[in-house]
């Protein structure tokens, strides 16, 4: 009994005479111009051939964990992906997709709403397998190719499972600064700007404290127009810049524009001098006279009932920390859960290059803290983000990012008062009552010069003369 078509027949198998070719004998004669014979076996053969042709086959690009990399492979072009004939997934890929679905359900996410993430993981593991860590660049490239695919949650999940080959983190501010440096028309000045960026990032010939990427971008943008003007005037090297050139560049500017350019140029030539690209620093002896505004308080009617307009516990706590303890927006962004000591009512503020500042919370603020933590635990009970303030996106991100500065900026725009203005009002109000710069330094972590400025602003009758016996 031989099943020549390799299919299971509904009414049992046919008993054939020996040799497989006997089943292919024609019964009757096919006349010219007539159709092929139709029968039960011919139909089953066609269906079997169709199923065999349409059965998905394993991918030809499965990654082998035993295969060593001889050289870095070029990036894959996922735009040429054939989605009409997906490959057959391996057992490891099927198990990984099932575990990802369980992971999403455990996080409280709707699997129907995040089908794009599941589809992305299924496509990537179907073509590359699940035995070797997947490159982050492949997931991002695939997600950017099709609008119904999403890669952020897939990347976080694979990182959690140890199956992600993460690419080195890149900062947009640094990338833009490098792009500006490359766009400088003269190569000597372009090289100087790249060296300037290296020094600011702490990557110069002498180790130094790295500046923030945003500061690096601001410095580079501030000097670009001046460098291009010098190139247009015929300068071919930063060593040709003199004190007169810098004074001429600063002369038509006023206010903040003059201060920004003056600070950026001083930092620029100081970095070139340290890297020995210039013989002398032409900006060293240039000083810029500027008037510093006196801190003033806000009208009381603008502050009254400030928290009454807010319903979200997180927003109320943010505004309270600025209005009562004069925190900076950047300090709100980088606060961590470990910085809060609820039993002692203390909150630690981390300061780079300086001692940490500790503030003592009152009963009202502690109640706001409790309300926010209860809401956070209720909405995201499994969140592992270490930061104190989170959003619906950062709370479920396994990489633990901080909230963006735009979240705080939008909050205070809704309140109607800038955070910096509200902070200044709080310090000025304290200076009116205490008139003691040491107390301002202890409460708000100010420097001695800043604390003295606030006291003199609140008490104009006091003089700058030192205390004499």
Long-range contacts: 296-301, Cβ < 8 Å, 24+? 296/424, 296/428, 296/457, 297/424, 297/425, 297/428, 297/429, 297/432, 298/417, 298/421, 298/422, 298/425
- In three-state secondary structure terms, 446 is coil
Q: Which fold has domain 300-458?
A: hpI Integrase; Chain A (1.10.443)
Nearest CA-CA partner of 295 in 446, 443, 112, 123: 446
CA atoms of 369 and 173, how far apart (whole Å): 33
Cβ within 8 Å of residue 394, ≥6 positions away: 385, 387, 400, 401, 402, 403
Residue with structure tokens 């109000």?
A: 429
The residue that leads in pLDDT, 462 or 409, is 409
Query: How do beta strands 134-135 and 164-165 pair?
Result: parallel
Distances in whole angstroms, Cα of residue 280 to Cα of each of 226, 285, 329: 19, 11, 39
Q: How confident is the model at residue 422 (pLDDT cuts 50, 70, 90)?
A: confident
Q: Which tens digit of pLDDT belongs to each residue from 17-75?
A: 444 444 444 444 545 555 555 566 777 777 777 666 666 777 777 777 777 777 777 78
User: What does pTM read for this prediction?
Assistant: 0.62
Token pair recorded at residue 297: 């308080």
Q: What share of the chain is helix, strand, coil (3-state, %, to 5)?
A: 50, 5, 45
Buried b (16+ CB within 10 A) or exposed e, 138-161: bbbbbbeebeebbbbbbbbbbbee
pLDDT value at position 299? 55
Phi, psi of 214 (to 5 degrees): -65, -40
CA distances from 178 to 170, 346, 385 (A): 12, 42, 31
Q: Based on the number of CB atoms within 10 Å of its own CB, is 186 exposed (0-12), middle (13-18) or buried (19 or more)? A: middle
Are 116 and 145 in contact by the 8 Å Cβ rule? The answer is no
How is residue 146 annotated by DSSP?
Answer: S
pLDDT digits (tens, 9 = 90+) for 242-289: 999 998 988 888 888 888 999 999 999 999 998 888 888 888 888 776
In which element (H, E) is residue 97 found?
helix 91-106
For the segment 134-151, what is each residue's pLDDT rounded down to a tens digit?
Answer: 888 889 888 888 888 888
Instruction: Number of helices (H) and strands (E) in the chain: give both, helices first.
Output: 18, 5
**Spatial CA neighbour of 339 closest among 319, 323, 361:** 361
Cβ pair 329, 419 in contact under 8 A:
yes
CB 438 within 8 A of CB 427: no
Contact by Cβ (8 Å): 326, 357: no
Number of neighbours of residue 448 by Cβ within 10 angstroms: 11
pLDDT tens column, 304-357: 567 777 888 999 999 989 988 889 888 899 999 999 998 899 999 988 777 888
């Amino acid at each position: 009994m031989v099943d020549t078509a390799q299919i299971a027949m509904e009414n049992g198998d046919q008993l054939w005479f020996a040799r497989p070719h006997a089943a292919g004998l024609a019964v009757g004669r096919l006349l010219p111009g007539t159709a092929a014979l139709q029968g039960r076996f011919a139909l089953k053969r066609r269906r079997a051939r169709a199923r065999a042709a349409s059965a998905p086959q394993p991918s030809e690009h499965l990654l082998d964990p035993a295969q060593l990399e001889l050289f870095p492979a070029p990036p894959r072009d996922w735009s040429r992906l054939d989605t009409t004939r997906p490959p057959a997934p391996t057992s490891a890929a099927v198990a990984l997709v099932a575990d990802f679905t369980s992971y999403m359900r455990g996080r409280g996410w709707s699997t129907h709403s995040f089908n794009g993430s599941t589809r992305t993981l299924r496509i990537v593991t179907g073509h590359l397998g699940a035995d070797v860590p997947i490159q982050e660049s492949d997931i991002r490239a695939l997600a950017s190719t099709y609008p119904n695919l999403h890669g952020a949650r897939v990347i976080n999940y694979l990182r959690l499972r140890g199956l992600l080959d993460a690419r080195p983190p890149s900062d947009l501010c640094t990338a833009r600064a490098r792009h500006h440096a490359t766009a400088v028309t003269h190569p000597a000045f372009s090289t100087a700007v790249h060296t300037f960026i290296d020094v600011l990032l702490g990557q110069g010939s002498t180790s130094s404290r790295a500046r923030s990427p945003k500061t690096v971008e601001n410095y580079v943008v501030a000097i670009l127009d001046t460098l291009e003007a010098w190139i247009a005037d015929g300068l071919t090297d930063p060593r040709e810049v003199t004190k007169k050139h810098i004074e001429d560049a600063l002369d038509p500017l006023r206010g903040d524009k003059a201060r920004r350019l003056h600070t950026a140029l001083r930092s620029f030539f100081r970095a070139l001098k340290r890297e020995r690209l210039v013989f002398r620093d032409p900006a060293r002896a240039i000083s810029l006279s500027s008037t510093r505004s006196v801190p003033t308080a806000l009208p009381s009617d603008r502050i009254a009932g400030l928290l009454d307009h807010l319903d979200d516990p997180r927003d109320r706590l943010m505004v309270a920390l600025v209005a009562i303890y004069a925190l900076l927006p950047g300090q709100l962004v980088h606060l961590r859960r470990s910085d809060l000591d609820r039993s002692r009512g203390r909150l630690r503020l981390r300061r780079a290059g300086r001692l940490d500042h500790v503030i003592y919370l009152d009963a009202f603020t502690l109640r706001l803290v409790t309300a926010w933590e209860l809401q956070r635990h209720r909405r995201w009970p499994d969140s592992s983000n270490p930061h104190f303030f989170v959003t619906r996106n950062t709370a479920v991100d396994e990489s633990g990012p901080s909230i963006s500065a735009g979240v705080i900026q939008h909050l205070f725009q809704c309140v109607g008062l800038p955070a910096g203005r509200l902070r200044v009002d709080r310090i000025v109000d304290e200076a009116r009552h205490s008139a003691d710069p040491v107390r301002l330094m202890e409460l708000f972590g100010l420097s001695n010069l800043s604390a003295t400025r606030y006291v003199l602003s609140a008490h104009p009758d006091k003089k700058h003369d030192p205390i004499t016996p």
